Amino acid sequence: MSFIDDDTANRRKQVTGQPQPAPTSDVTSTMDHYFRLRARMLGVLIRDARMKASRLESDCAHVVRVSPETFSNWEYGDESPTLPQLELLANFLYIPISHFWSTKTLVNDSNTSTTHTQHTYFEIRDRMIGLMLRQAREQANLSVAELAHESGVDAQIIAQYELGELPIPMHHLNILAHQVNQNIRYFLDFSGQVGELLAMQEQWKHFAQLPEDVRAFAANPVNIGFIEIAVMLSKLPTDTLRSVGASMLDSTM
């Protein structure tokens, strides 16, 4: 498809005295239209993934080593990234690379349900953390007044924290946790969708710190039987485990 009509082309020829390029063929025009369409579709998916991950254009641009203007052009379909750039972007946004050639978006058209879910999550978690703080305080044999004295946090505020009426800022939670002989991990959510994701990230962090040969062994599906045996052995009582070890040693002698 040509974006320059005949009259415009003729006027340019008269002004410049230079011949104008020949009109593109129907095949070229069709392919150009297809490429633009694909670029725009990819741009929608890039923006969708970025919005889902709550990332700024500038953050994503920095990761893939392009300017924010170039990244913005990607989202509008004016330019397209390379496959290695998409791979880095997928890793940064915590999504599978296949998202970029799918036809489904990640972000719901309506943010109402998401906002409501987040509000409910905050409310429930604030109450749970308050209850856990109260239980830890009672296990430490401290009254609210004593905890207030030791931590420097007002007693009335602590009472509201324990009832879940006020969210606990991290600087208060840190000192209150210390005074009731706990740490922040005690208050973490390890159940539900958010908790499971956090637990998985913690597990992956520890897995990534293992020696390379151990990681390779554990990641190979062929070795799953050996891993299951190791898990079963780890659950045996110490005496039984020693007996099994002694039997294995005897069988090799």
Q: What is the pLDDT of residue 253?
A: 59
The answer to whether the beta carbons of residues 148 and 155 sit under 8 Å apart is yes
* 76 and 15 assigned to the same domain: yes
Same domain, 21 and 82: yes
Question: Which has the closest alpha carbon to 126: 160, 89, 153, 164?
Answer: 164
So what's the pLDDT on residue 148?
95
Is 198 inside any structural domain? Answer: no
Domain span including residue 230: 217-253
Phi and psi angles of residue 154, each rounded to the nearest 5 degrees, phi first: -55, 140
The whole-angstrom separation of Cα 209 and Cα 211 is 7
Task: Give a yes or no: residue 183 inside a domain.
Answer: yes
Please check whether residues 11 and 96 belong to one and the same domain.
yes
User: What is the structure's pLDDT at 99?
Assistant: 87
Distances from the Cα of 18 to the Cα of 28, 141, 166, angstroms:
23, 93, 75
Q: Are residues 43 and 85 in the same domain?
A: yes
* Burial class of residue 16 in the structure, from the number of CB atoms within 10 Å of its CB (0-12 exposed, 13-18 middle, 19+ buried): exposed
Number of domains in the chain: 3
For 222-248, write each residue's pLDDT tens digit. 888 888 888 887 887 887 777 767 776
CATH number of domain containing 44: 1.10.260.40
Vertex 175 angle, CA 172 and 176, to 5°: 80
Whether residue 23 is found in the same domain as residue 97 = yes
How does pLDDT run across 3-14, given as a tens digit for each residue?
334 443 444 444
The CA distance from 26 to 30, in Å, is 6
Last residue of a domain, one of 101, 121, 148: 101
- In a domain, residue 199? The reply is no
Query: Are 181 and 129 in the same domain?
Result: yes
221 and 137 in one domain?
A: no
Tens-level pLDDT at each residue, the chain (253 residues): 333 344 434 444 444 455 555 555 566 677 777 788 888 999 999 999 999 888 999 999 999 999 999 999 999 999 999 999 999 999 999 888 888 888 788 876 445 445 555 667 788 888 889 999 999 999 999 999 999 999 999 999 999 999 988 999 999 999 999 999 998 888 876 665 555 655 666 677 777 888 888 888 888 888 888 888 888 878 878 877 777 677 766 666 5
